[in-house]
Each structure stands twice: as structure tokens, then as C-alpha cells.
Amino acid sequence: MYRDALNNSGSYQKKVEEIKKLRDEKKQIELGVKEEFASEFDKLEILNNEIKNDQQLLSDIVMSQVSKGEKIELEDEYENKLEPIFSVRFKKIS
């Protein structure tokens, strides 16, 4: 009954249409601004991929050293000592 009353309300329907129109205008503005920053978004995506690749490479190196029984010692730029943390995850294979 509530929905029927709203659907029959002219002022409510008018506001719903205004909201849809404003939402579409907002989306168009966002797309326009996003296009202006396309090169920055591309650079950001490249940097994110490089970080993921570097993390995977570091993980592979550490796993190789651990499997050989070597001790792992790292320091960051502030001379904080870091140690590896291992976790195991499973994924469905079939």
C-alpha cells in the first residue's frame, strides 16, 4: 500500500525523475574528469602492478632461502628489523 501511494504521488514521481537526472549528470561529470586524469590512472595502475610483482619476487626469494635453511634478516629505510610471516591459503582446484 505504501509503494502504491508513492507511485501515485505526483510530487514523489517528479523528485524520483529529478534524482535520476542528477545522477546521470553526476556520472557524466565524473567520466569527464576521469578522462582528464587518464594518464595518471594509467601510471597508478602500472605502479600497483610493479608493487605486486616486487612483492611476489620478494616472497619467492624468501621462500627459496627458507627452504635452504638460511636465516632471513631485512631492514627497512628506518633501520627497523623485519622478519617474514608465513601463511597458507587453499583454493579449489576443480
Residue 71's pLDDT is what? 87
CB 82 within 8 A of CB 74: yes
Please give the residue that has the higher pLDDT: either 44 or 87.
44
Residue 45's pLDDT is what? 95
Q: What is the pLDDT of residues 17-76, one digit of tens each?
A: 999 999 999 999 999 999 999 999 999 999 999 999 999 998 899 989 989 998 888 899
Residue 86's pLDDT is what? 85
Q: Is the pTM of this model over 0.85?
A: no
Residue 84's pLDDT is what? 87
DSSP H/E element including 65? helix 38-67
